[in-house]
Amino acid sequence: METEPVTLTSNETCLLSAKPRIAFFDFAGCEGDQLQIANLEEKLLDILAHVEVVSFREIKTGHGDDYDIAFVEGSITRPEDEERIKEIRSKAKVLVALGACAAIGGINCLKNFMGEGFYRDVVYGPQAGWYRTYAARPLSAVVTVDAEIPGCPIDRLEFARVVKELLLGRTPWLPDYPVCVECKMAGNVCRFDMGKMCLGIITRAGCGACCVTEGAHCWGCRGLFPTANLDAARQVMDRAGFDRRQVQDLMRFFLGDTRAGL
Amino acid sequence: MAKPAKDKAVSTAKKINVHYLTRVEGHGNIIAEVDEAGTVTSCRWEVPEAPRFFEAMMLGRTYHDVHHIASRICGICSIGHQLASLQATEEALGVMVSEQTLILRKLALHGENIQSHLLHVGYLVLPDLLGVDSVIPLASTHREELLHLVKSRAMSNEFCRLVSGRTTHPQRLMVGGMAKLPSEEDLLKLREILVGAVPEMRAVVDLFAAVKGNFPDFTRETEYVGLSSPSEYGLYWGEVASTAAPRRPAALYQDVAREYCVPSSTAKWSKGVEGPYMVGALARFNINSGQLNASGREAAEKLGLKAPSYNPYYISLAQVVEVVHSIEDAITLTDRLLERGVQAEKPQVVRCAPGRGVGAVEVPRGLLFHAYEYDENGRVTHADCVIPTNQNHANIQKDLEALTPLIAREDKAAVELKLSMLVRAYDPCISCSTHRLDLSEGEGLVRFVPAGKAGLKEG
Ligand code: SF4
Ligand code: SF4
Ligand code: SF4
Asked, for residue A8, whether it belongs to a domain, the answer is no
- β-strand B177-178 against B223-228: which pairing, if any? unpaired
Q: Which of B394, B390, B386 is nearest to B444 (CA)?
A: B394
Residues A93 and A189 both lie in one domain: no
pLDDT at B456: 26
| Lowest-confidence segment of A73-77, A109-113, B193-197 by average pLDDT | A109-113
* Local structure of B392: helix, strand or coil: helix
Residues A161 and A63 both lie in one domain: yes
> Do residue B56 and residue A119 have CB atoms under 8 angstroms apart?
yes
Q: Does B127 touch chain A (CB under 8 A)?
A: yes
Would the pLDDT of A37 be above 50? yes
A47-86 residues touching B, CB cutoff 8 A: 48, 53, 56-63, 74, 77-78, 80-81, 83-84
Out of A141, A168, A195, pick the residue that ends a domain.
A168
The parts of chain B modelled with pLDDT lower than 50 are: 1-10, 433-459
pLDDT at B459: 25
DSSP B430: G
Tell me if A36 sits within 8 A of A61, measured CB to CB. Answer: no
> Do residue B150 and residue A45 have CB atoms under 8 angstroms apart?
yes
Asked, for residue B156, whether it belongs to a domain, the answer is yes
- Looking at the 3D structure of chain B, how many domains does it have? 1
**Which chain A residues are Cβ-neighbours of B170 within 8 angstroms?**
214
ipTM attached to this prediction = 0.90
Q: Which domain holds residue A83?
A: 21-168
pLDDT top residue among A129 and A91:
A91
Q: What is the identity of the amino acid at B231?
A: S
Mean pLDDT over each residue of chain A, to the nearest integer = 86
Tell me if B349 sits within 8 A of B74, measured CB to CB. Answer: no
Which residue has a Cα nearest atom 5 of ligand 1? A29
Out of A104, A137, A168, pick the residue that ends a domain.
A168
- Looking at the 3D structure of chain A, how many domains does it have? 2
What is the percent of chain A where pLDDT is above 70? 84
* Local structure of B30: helix, strand or coil: strand
pLDDT at B453: 27
A97-116 residues touching B, CB cutoff 8 A: 106-108, 110-111, 114
Asked, for residue B81, whether it belongs to a domain, the answer is yes
Would the pLDDT of A4 be above 50? no
Residues A134 and A26 both lie in one domain: yes
* Local structure of A20: helix, strand or coil: coil
> Do residue A216 and residue B171 have CB atoms under 8 angstroms apart?
yes
Asked, for residue B172, whether it belongs to a domain, the answer is yes
Closest atom of ligand 3 to A210 CA is: 1
What mean pLDDT do residues A239-246 have?
A: 90
Asked, for residue A90, whether it belongs to a domain, the answer is yes
Does ligand 1 have an atom closer than 6 angstroms to the CB of A152?
Answer: yes
| Lowest-confidence segment of A7-11, A232-236, B24-28, B77-81 by average pLDDT | A7-11
Q: Which domain holds residue B319?
A: 54-426
pLDDT at B367: 95
CA B443 to each of CA B21, B56, B261, B293: distance values in angstroms, whole numbers, following the listed order: 28, 22, 8, 42
Residues A92 and A139 both lie in one domain: yes
Residues A111 and A27 both lie in one domain: yes
Q: How far is the CA of A205 from the centre of ligand 3 (A)?
A: 8
Q: What is the identity of the amino acid at B244?
A: A
pLDDT at A126: 64
pLDDT at B269: 67
- Gap between the Cα atoms of B175 and B5, Å rounded: 50
Residues A69 and A191 both lie in one domain: no
Nearest to A107 among B62, B69, B124 (CB): B69
A148-207 residues touching B, CB cutoff 8 A: 152-153
Asked, for residue A121, whether it belongs to a domain, the answer is yes
pLDDT at B36: 86
Asked, for residue A14, whether it belongs to a domain, the answer is no
Asked, for residue A86, whether it belongs to a domain, the answer is yes
Tell me if B243 sits within 8 A of B308, measured CB to CB. Answer: yes
pLDDT at B455: 27
Which residue has a Cα nearest atom 6 of ligand 2? A190
| Lowest-confidence segment of A112-116, A162-166, B219-223, B366-370 by average pLDDT | A112-116
pLDDT at B15: 85
Instruction: Determine whether the annotation assigns residue B55 to a binding site.
Output: yes
Q: What is the pTM of this model?
A: 0.89
Asked, for residue B107, whether it belongs to a domain, the answer is yes
User: Which CATH number covers residue B106?
Assistant: 1.10.645.10
Asked, for residue A55, whether it belongs to a domain, the answer is yes
pLDDT at B22: 72
- Gap between the Cα atoms of A152 and A199, Å rounded: 14
What are the phi and psi torsion angles at B38 (to 5°)? 85, 15
pLDDT at B187: 97
Please provide the distance, in angstroms rounded to a whole number, between the alpha carbons at the two ends of chain A. 15
Out of A146, A168, A190, pick the residue that ends a domain.
A168
> Do residue B72 and residue A32 have CB atoms under 8 angstroms apart?
yes
